[in-house]
Amino acid sequence: QVQLVESGGGSVQAGGSLRLSCVVFGDTYSPYCMGWFRQAPGKEREGAAIFYTGGGTPYYKDSVKGRFTISYDSAKNTLYLQMNSLKPEDTATYYCAADFRPAYCGSDRRGYNYWGPGTQVTVSS
């Protein structure tokens, strides 16, 4: 049984930084693809940053480019999201997602079959 557990959320002022972590628990190999999604109240869940564990350039949603950095530590089976220069519009619940099928690695939430419970990020102006 695979479980994803996020940590690192919190409340910060605009311009501040947070680092999210997501640990993959379970007797399993590394996921094919992992990502950070976010969902603000009344809005759909959107892909913020996607990481293909086989290499290549990560995907970033336009609004977070240059401010967020996604990374993966295979030895720890942990995904990170470094968020700098945070803005009030970044306020959302952030979810870690993973998929082990070597078929898709993108920002469509339907491509992921494992999800964490989410961690809240609140940015005040």
Q: What is the pLDDT of residues 34-75, one digit of tens each?
A: 999 999 999 999 999 999 998 889 999 999 999 999 999 999
Give the count of beta carbons closer than 10 Å to the beta carbon of residue 89: 11
Give me the DSSP letters along 22-55.
EEEESS----SEEEEEEE-TTS--EEEEEEETTS
Q: Chain centroid to CA 58: how far?
A: 12
Q: What percent of the chain has pLDDT over 70?
A: 100
Q: Determine which helix (DSSP H) or strand (DSSP E) holds 61, and give its type and residue range.
A: none
From residue 73, how far is each of 19, 77, 90 by CA, in Å? 14, 6, 24
